[in-house]
Amino acid sequence: MSSTRQTPSDFLKQIIHRPVVVKLNSGVDYRGVLVCLDGFMNIVLDQTEEYINGQLKAKYGIAFLRGNNVLYISAQKRKA
């Protein structure tokens, strides 16, 4: 077991400018490149795609997601 622990803040710093998936409380997923976020988990994504029930519904350029709607954010593997 490693003696160094990664905090949520460390994780978020590592995924800036990387592809992410953001799931909202409503069940909608947004996928895009994480531009920035703040302490309230307000998130700005670029190259944003909106998925509802796993189906692509819309594409946006830059999107702002309000933090109180965010269920989770996860790193997305880069497309080959």
Sheet holding 43-52, edge to edge: 55-65, 43-52, 29-37, 19-24, 70-75
Q: How does residue 13 score in pLDDT terms, banded at 50, 70 and 90?
A: confident
15-68 pLDDT per residue, tens: 999 999 999 999 999 999 999 999 899 999 999 999 999 999 999 999 999 999
- Per-domain residue ranges of the chain: 8-75
Cα 49 to Cα 9, 20, 54, 57, 62: the distances in Å are 25, 11, 11, 8, 10
User: What CATH number belongs to 8-75?
Assistant: 2.30.30.100
